[in-house]
Structure 1
Amino acid sequence: KVTELGSARQALLWFLEQGLDLPVRCANGDVIWRRPNYATIHRMIANPIYGGAYAYGKSRSVPGYDGRSGIRRKARDEWLALIPDAHEGYISWERAEEIRKMVSDNVPASRHHGAPKHGDALLAGLFRCKRCGRKLTVRYTGANHNIPRYSCWRGLLDNGEPRCIAFGGLRVDDAIEEALLGVVEPGAIAAAVEAERNMANQRDQVQDALMRELEAARYVADRAFRQYDAADPENRLVTSELEARWNKALTGVGEIEAKIAKHRTITPHPFPMSASQVTALAGNLRAVWTAPTTDARLKKRIVRTLINEVVADLDDGTSEIVLVIHWVGGVHTELRLPKRHRGQRNATPDDIVDAVKQLVLIANDDVIAGVLNRNGLTTGNGNRWTRERVTALRSYRKIPVFRPQIDGVEPWLNLGGAAKLLGISPKTLRLAAEAGDIKGAHPLPDGPWIFSRSKLA
C-alpha cells in the first residue's frame, strides 16, 4: 500500500479510511489488533526482519543526567550486523530496501525530491540550478495562490549570494507535460489494462485484510472457549472471568463480520472493460491528464517515476529558459523555451476575455476551463485551458472570482435555474432567448446561457 500511494502517511490514511486494524505484539507476548498510527507503519518499513534480514546491534546504551542509562537507536551504517536473506521474509530484501528508500526520500531535504504535495507545481522538488547546484524552490502567486514560480533562493538566503535564476512555472510545466506525454502515450494501452486490473483488485485488498482480521479474531474466540471449557466448574471466580473473556472475543468476531457485510454492501462490484473501452481510455490519456479534476499528486507521482531531475538555467544571450531532463533510463533531453520579458504578455483574444467575464457570473474556474476547452479555444501560447490558467487570466485582467451567495439566491442563473424560476421547460426558455423574447447572454456556442434574475422577475 505504501508503494501504491507513495508515502507512509497516505497508507495510514487509507487504513483509517477503510477502518482496518493492524496487529501489535504486547509486552506479554499477546497479539492484539488496534487502530494503526504512523509510527507502526514506519517501523514496519524500517525493520529489516520483514525483508528476511537478520540485524543486531541496532541500539546502544547512553548515560542519562540522573545516572540512569537510556537506549538510543543507531544509524543504519553503525549496526553491528545486517545479514540479508537470513530467513524467509514477507517480501524480498531488494523490494524491502526499495520501499524503505522511497519513504526516506520523501523527507523534503535538499538531497531528496520530497513526497508529492497538493500544490499545482508539477516539478516541485525536481528542479536543480545549473549555476550553483542547489534545488529550486517553488512559491505560488495569483489571487488564489496557485500560479507556480520556480526560484533559486538558497544562496541568497543562506550565504547572502546573488540570486541565481527564477522563472514562471506554467510555461515550463506545460513543456515538461508535453515531453512526458510523448513518452507515456506509446504505452497507454498497457497502462489502461493495468489500471483496469488495479480497479478490479482494489476491492479485494480491503476484503482480504478484513478476512485476515476475522481469522485472528476467531482464533482468539476459539482459544477463549477452550480455556473456559477446560476450567473447573466449581471454581466460579475463574470460570466467570474466562466466560467474560470468551464473550468479549465473540463480540469482536461479530463486529468484524459486520464490517465485512457492510463493505460488501457499499462497495460496487467491478466489471470487466471491453477492448474498445480500453482503447478509448488509452486514447483519452491526454484529456484525462489535462482535466481540472485530475489529482495533482497523481501527476507528480507519474513525473517522479519517469524523471530523476531537471537541470535549469537561463540563456541571457537568446533570452531562453534551458531545461535538461534527466530521464530515469539515463537519457537526457534538452528543451529551450522563450523567456517572458518584463511587461510582455501572451495576448489572450479579447473575445475569450469577454466570455470569461460573463462566465464568472455563474461558474468557477474549473467549469470555465472545461467550457473553453469544449469550444476549442486555447491560451495565448496555444495551450489547453486549466483552472490555473483561468485563474491567472482573471488575476491579470482583474476579473472577480465567482462566489456563491450565502442565502442561495443567485443574481445570475443558467438555463436550468432560470427555467425553474419561470416555471417553464429549458427548451422553451432557450427558444425564447434565441428569438429575443427573453434577454439572456450566450457567450460561447457550446456553453451555458446566462440570465439576470432581476430581468426575469
Structure 2
Amino acid sequence: MRQVVENAESARRQYALRGRAVALGWHDEQIIVIDNDQGESGASAAWREGFQRLVSDVGMGHAGIVMGLEVSRLARNNADWQRLLEICALADTLILDEDGVYDPASFNDRLLLGLKGTMSEAELHVIKARLRGGILNKARRGEFRCPLPTGLVYDHVGNVALDPDTQVRETIVHFFETFSRVGSASQTVKAFRTEGLLFPSRLHNSGTVFRPLTASTAVRVLNNPRYAGAYTYGRRQFRRTIDGKKTVRARGNDDWLACIPDAHPGYISWEQHQENLKILREIRENGHGYEVARASIPREGPALLQGRAVCGQCGRHFRVRYAARRGRQEAWYVCDRAHTYRGEPVCQSIAGPPVDKAIGMLIAEQMTPAAVELALEVRKEIEARHEEADRLRCRAIERAQTEADLAQRRFMLVDPNNRLVADTLEGEWNEKLRILANAREERERARKHDQFFLDEAVHERLVAMTADFDQLWADPNTPNRNRKRLLAHIIEDVTLIKLPAEGTTKVHVRFKGGKIQTLTTMSPKSSAQQIKTQPGIVEQVDKLLDGHIYSEIADLLNQQGYRPGEAARSGRHDARFTPKRVAYLVHEYKLRSRYDRLRERGMLTKQEAAARLNIHEHTVTRWAEFGLIASHAYNGHYCLYEVPDSDPPQKHCSRWDRLVDRAAAQRQNASRQKLSTEHERDAV
C-alpha cells in the first residue's frame, strides 16, 4: 500500500485506459474498472478478489476486451495467466496492453502472450531475489532492523538498547530469576500470580501495557534469543498454502539465516539462554516421550526420585505411579515402556517408600555438616525474592501515579464550559486514581503477607534446620517439591535393581561429584506375605499337637501373646486364635494331625478298645469317664483310648463295677443335695 500511495503515476496510467476503450468504440457505461487489488502482489490469485471477478466475468461472456498496461498488472503467476488466456479464447475476449491488441484464440497471439506471462513471472523472481539478497546481506552483519520484543528498543542512532522504562526492565529481570528458581514456565506463571505481578506487553499503537503473565507468553520470552543479547534472523519460515493462507514453521538452530551472540545488551547471558532452552526441552520430553534420559521438573508427589530413578535392567528411566492405599498416597517406580510399546513383560515395579526413606536418610547425613550455611543462604534468597517483588510493585505505583498526574493536568487544561470533554477527562482521572489506590493497597497487602511469612513460618523452619536437619526433612509440612530440588543439587541419578529372591532392592546412588554409594532396602511384603503366619507360631502349633486339641492350642497361643498373621496387616490388636484358625494352620502347612500322632503311640478307637477288653462300647465310654482307662481327645469330642497290652483279670472286673457304682452313687447324692439347697432357698 505504500507504493500505491507514494508511486501514484502508474495508477494514473491504468485509469487512463478508460479513454482508450472509449476511443476503440465502447460506451462509457460499458467500461468496468477493477481496482480491488491495489497493494496486493500478483504472485497468486487466491487472495485477489479483483482478479477473481475478472475471470468470472470473462468466463460468463460479459467482457469483450481486457485492458491492462502489461501482463504483470494482471498476474505474475504463469498458471493464473494461462488460465485467463484459455478462458478468453473460449469466450472470444480480446486482450490489450501498451504494445497492441491480441486475440487469445489465435495461436501466434497466444504464444506471444504466454511468453510475456513467463517473463513477468521471472521478473517477480528477480525482484524478490534482489530484495532478499539485500536483506540477507544486511542481516548477516546484524544491521537489518527487525521488530524487537518487549523490553528492547532502538535508540536515537538505531542501536538496540534496554527499555528505558525501569518497571519493564525490572519485571523482565525478575521473570528470568523466577524461572531459574522454579525451573518451569507454568510455575513461573503461578509465582507471578501469587505475588500479584503483571508482565509488560507491547501493543502496536498503544505503547506498553501490563497484563497477567500467561504460559504462552512465558514460553515465547524464554525461547527468544534477543533477551540474551543475540541478533537472530530467519528463525521461522513463512509459506503460503494453495488457498492463500500463510503458514509458519520454526527452523532448527542450525538453519537460522543469522545468529550473532552478544550483538547488543541483553537481560541474560547466552549461556543462561541455552540452559533455559535445555530445561524447556526436558519438560517437553517429559510430556511427550519417555525414551530420552532426563530429570523432570520437581512436582508435588511424594516420589523423591521422580525423573532420576534409572532401571538397573534396561537402563531406561522409571515412570512414577501413585496409588491411594490405607489412607495415604504411595509411590511406585515402574519400568513398563517395553510392555506398552512392544507387549513385553514389565521390566521392574519397585515400591517407592522404602527407597525414598533410604535416600532421605542419606541426604540428611550428607547435609548435616552444612545445615547452618544452607539455612542462611535460603533465608537470604527468600528475603531478596520478596524485596525484588516489592520493588516491582513500587514501580507499578509510580507508573499509576504518573498516569494519574497526566490525567489531572489534562482535566485542568480543558475549558470548563465544554462539559462533554470535561466529563470525559474527569472520568479518566477518576479511573487513574482508582488504579493508583488499588496498586497501593496491593503493595500493602503483599508486604504484610511477606513480612508474616518471613517472621513466623520461615524463621521457625530455619531454626529447626540449624538444630536438626533430619527432623526438618521428615517434617510433613515441608513440601515435596523442596525436597526434590535439594536432592537435584546433590544426586545425579539413582539406579534401582530389585532382587525378588532376597526380598531386597539394590540402590546405587551417583552423586554430582562422581561419588557412588550403594544401599540395600527391604522390599515391602505383598498382601499374602503380610497375612502369612510366622514360622515360629507354626512350630509351636506342631509341638502342642502332641498333647492338646485345637481349642486348647488356641487358648495357649493367646495366653502366650501370639496373634494371627492378618492382625499384622490390619493393625488389629484384638485378633485372637480360634480352633478354626489352628485347624487351618494344620491343614495349610501339612502338619501331622493329632489323630495320627495318637495312633502312632498305640491308641485305640472305641471299637478296638471294646474288642481288646471284651466289653461293650458304652462300657468303654463309662470307664474312660470315670478314669478307669485313659482317653485322649483328637477332634473335638472324638477320642482314642489307651488300653493295657494284656487283658485285665476277671477279679478286677467286680472291683471296677463297684467303683463305677460308687461314682454313680456319689453323683446321685450330689444331685439330691443340690435339689435340697434349692428348696431351702425358695423357703427363705
- After TM superposition, the score normalised by the length of structure 2 is 0.46
Aligned partner of 1:51 in structure 2 is 228
Asked if 1:12 corresponds to 2:189, the answer is yes
Aligned residue for 1:159?
342
Rounded Cα–Cα distance in structure 2 between residues aligned with 1:278 and 1:299: 15
Corresponding residue of 2:317? 135
Q: Distance in 2 between matches of 1:222 and 1:233?
A: 19
- Counterpart of 1:40 in structure 2 is 217
Cα distance in 2 for residues equivalent to 1:230 and 1:55: 47
Q: Which residue of structure 1 lines up, in the alignment, with residue 87 of structure 2? A: none
Which residue matches 2:514?
A: 330
Q: Trace 1:49-448 onto structure 2 (pairs within 5 A).
A: 49-64=226-241, 66-107=243-284, 108=286, 109-110=289-290, 111=292, 112-141=294-323, 142-144=325-327, 146-222=329-405, 224=407, 244-268=427-451, 270=454, 281-315=465-499, 320-340=504-524, 343-345=528-530, 396-397=569-570
| Amino acid corresponding to residue 231 of structure 2 in structure 1 | Y
Q: How far apart, in 1, do the equivalents of 2:460 and 2:354 lie?
A: 35
Task: Describe the shift of the 1:272–1:177 C-alpha distance in structure 2 as closer, same or farther (beyond 3 A).
Answer: closer
Instruction: Determine the structure 1 residue equivalent to 2:101.
Output: none
Contact preservation (8 Å) 2:198, 2:210: yes
Q: Return closer, same or farther for 1:285/1:106 CA change in 2, 3 Å cut-off.
A: farther
The TM-score normalised by the length of structure 1 is 0.67
The one-letter amino acid of 1:397's match is S
Counterpart position of 2:626: none
- SS state at 1:146 partner: strand
- In structure 1, C-alpha distance between the alignment counterparts of 2:321 and 2:300, rounded to whole Å: 13
Note if contact 2:295-2:307 (Cα within 8 Å) is conserved in structure 1: yes
- CA separation in 1, counterparts of 2:490 and 2:232? 33
Amino acid paired to 1:179:
L
Change (3 A) 1:183 1:266: closer
Structure 2, unaligned stretches of length 5 or more?
1-177, 533-565, 573-684
Cα distance in structure 2, aligned partners of 1:322 and 1:220: 65
More displaced 10-residue stretch of structure 1: 31-40 or 319-328: 319-328
2:121 matched residue in structure 1: none
Deviation at 1:67, TM superposition (A): 2.0
CA drift at 1:316: 6.1
Q: What is the CA-CA distance between 1:32 and the residue it aligns to?
A: 0.7
Following superposition, the deviation at residue 145 of structure 1 comes to: 5.9
Give SS of 1:133's match: coil
**Deviation of residue 277 (structure 1)?**
9.9
- CA, structure 1 residues 144+272, in 2 after alignment: closer, same or farther (shift >3 Å)? closer
Q: Name the larger-Rg structure.
A: 2
AA aligned opposite 2:318: L
Retained in 2: the 8 A contact 1:196–1:272? no
Q: Distance in 2 between matches of 1:279 and 1:291?
A: 13
* Structure 1 residue 52 displacement after superposition: 1.8
Following superposition, the deviation at residue 146 of structure 1 comes to 1.1
The Cα shift of 1:188 comes to 0.8
Offset of residue 259 of structure 1: 1.9
Q: Secondary structure at the match of 2:451?
A: coil
After superposition, the Cα gap between the structure-2 partners of 1:18 and 1:179, relative to the gap in structure 1 and judged at 3 Å, is same
**Identity percentage over the alignment?**
29
User: Residue type of the partner of 2:304?
Assistant: L
**Cα separation, partners in 2 of 1:394 and 1:175, compared to 1, 3 Å:** farther
Q: CA deviation at 1:84?
A: 2.1
Task: Note if contact 1:189-1:279 (Cα within 8 Å) is conserved in structure 2.
Answer: no
Q: Which residue of 2 aligns with 1:437?
A: none
Shift of 1:51: 2.0
- CA contact under 8 A between 2:464 and 2:471: conserved in structure 1? no
1:130-152 CA-to-partner distances (Å, cap 9, x unmatched) read: 32222212223313461222221
Matches of 1:235 and 1:6, distance apart in 2: 56
Alignment match, 1:363: none
2:531 and 2:568 in contact (8 A); partners too: no
Deviation at 1:195, TM superposition (A): 2.2
**How far 1:25 sits from its partner (Å)?**
0.6
Q: CA deviation at 1:339?
A: 4.2
The residue type paired with residue 486 of structure 2 is I
Q: Which moved more, 1:313-322 or 1:80-89?
A: 313-322
The one of the two structures with greater contact order (alpha-carbon pairs below 8 A, sep at least 6) is 1
Question: Once superposed, what is the RMSD of the aligned Cα atoms?
Answer: 3.6
- Deviates further, 137-146 or 336-345: 336-345
Q: Counterpart of 2:444 in structure 1: which amino acid?
A: A
In 1, the alpha carbon distance for the partners of 2:364 and 2:449 equals 36
Is the CA contact 1:143–1:395 (under 8 Å) kept in the aligned structure 2? no
Q: State the distance in 2 between where 1:258 and 1:277 align.
A: 29
Which residue identity does 1:313 align to in structure 2? I
